[in-house]
Amino acid sequence: MSFRGPRRLPGSTLPVLLAILALTVVGPLPTLAAGPIGEGGPPPGALTPDAPTPVAPTVDPIPEPRNQVPGRATGFRLPFASGQEIRIEQGWNTTFSHKGKAAYAYDFGLYLGTDVLAAAAGVVAFVHDGETACGGPELRKKANYVTIYHADGSATQYGHLAKVAVKVGDVVAAGEVIGKSGDTGYTQCLPHLHFARQYQGGGVTKSVPVYFEGYAKQEFHSGDLVTAPAAPCVAPSDDQTATEPELGSFCGVYVAESLDYPASFVRRDSALSFDWRTKGPGGYWLDRATVGFSARWSGEFAFPAAGTYTIGATWSGAVIVSIDGVRVVDRWTAQEGPVELVTTMSLGAGIHRIDVEYMATNGQGMLRVGWGRLFADE
């Protein structure tokens, strides 16, 4: 799932989303000496549930960022477009500026004006914009940056931007453009993107290790060349003039809670036969069985002969199954289940599109969808 641009939620909706994503706005932490420092975070209490006007800040503890395990699902993409080969200008634990609280930051050698993308879905929590100067250490506090809060208790910070394209409170999906790379602040006027996964609590805080999709086991070092991998799949669209869809499998988009929210991860599924009663659907973000989630699968499949086909579904939760835009299963009311349903549909020989939407409100779901031609119709 993707948005055409950053979505900004009304005040009555944002606290609900923050609760869903387990994002917490807390008091500031000490800033990084080597990173951009600025104002622009949410006013105290602005993201507090049910608070129509700012109130005194809470004293909730700063969440601990989830520990990423090298080699496992990472949950974070590289912050630039797929296919670009980018040089690492500065890695972890360098003697120049990536030390102390900035020890786990990366400097990506993006050219001036390159699109900077959100590494994961989240809520924009801090923005500093309007700077144009570049130079030495006297400009430490003069860098444009964006900080995004994520559901795993971490934040990501994108520094030295030439242009900021989002506002505090925007909900962004992984891969959405949040600004343009630049050289503002303490950069010696050398364009690059300063990126850090860090604690929540401020625009720039203590950094923590991060591993990226396509490089799940790898720590980058200065001089390395890295390329953001292409998405694992792209769901068929109503306009197939640009790309030819891959036949015979589904592109699955998995979302925390409602399908209205940004995707947690995308993957290709060869068949829809899942049991989530003891574990979640996977990935970094939805690996627990107790977390409610939704998913949408789209695929195009070859039907070798015309005839009457049976379509069967077994599920707990809620499900909609459509073939060529026609709903053949429409049960969007959560069921503890399992529920079984078999129906029929006349289809011609050729390619048909199948779409499935699913919701598990408590994470304890299961789903099987299949189809076949009636023997009597042979």
Domain ranges in the chain with CATH number 2.60.120.260: 250-377
Neighbouring C-alpha atoms within 13 Å toward the C-beta of 356:
28
Give the separation between CA 82 and CA 68, rounded to whole angstroms.
22
Give the separation between CA 274 and CA 265, rounded to whole angstroms.
17
Neighbouring C-alpha atoms within 13 Å toward the C-beta of 185:
26
pLDDT in tens, 123-134: 999 999 999 999
Pick 250-377's CATH classification: 2.60.120.260, 3.40.190.10, 3.40.50.300, 3.90.550.10: 2.60.120.260
Closest to 120 (Cα-Cα) out of 1, 262, 25: 262
Domain ranges in the chain with CATH number 2.70.70.10: 1-229
Low-confidence ranges of the chain (pLDDT < 70): 1-60, 237-245, 363, 375-378
Closest to 149 (Cα-Cα) out of 1, 4, 21, 54: 21
pLDDT in tens, 237-272: 654 443 455 799 999 999 987 888 888 999 999 999
1-229: CATH topology:
Glucose Permease (Domain IIA) (2.70.70)
CB 250 within 8 A of CB 279: no
> DSSP string of 62-111?
PPPPPPPPTTS------SS-TT-EEEEEE-SS-SSSS-GGGTT-EEE-PP
pLDDT at 30: 28
CB 123 within 8 A of CB 149: yes
Token readout for 278 is: 């003891």
pLDDT at 376: 52
Q: Hey, how many other C-beta atoms are within 10 angstroms of the C-beta on 93?
A: 13
Give the separation between CA 8 and CA 20, rounded to whole angstroms.
16
For 376, list phi and psi in degrees, rounded to 5. -65, -15
pTM of the model: 0.81
pLDDT at 279: 85
Place of tokens 């574990």: 279
DSSP H or E segment with residue 179: strand 177-181
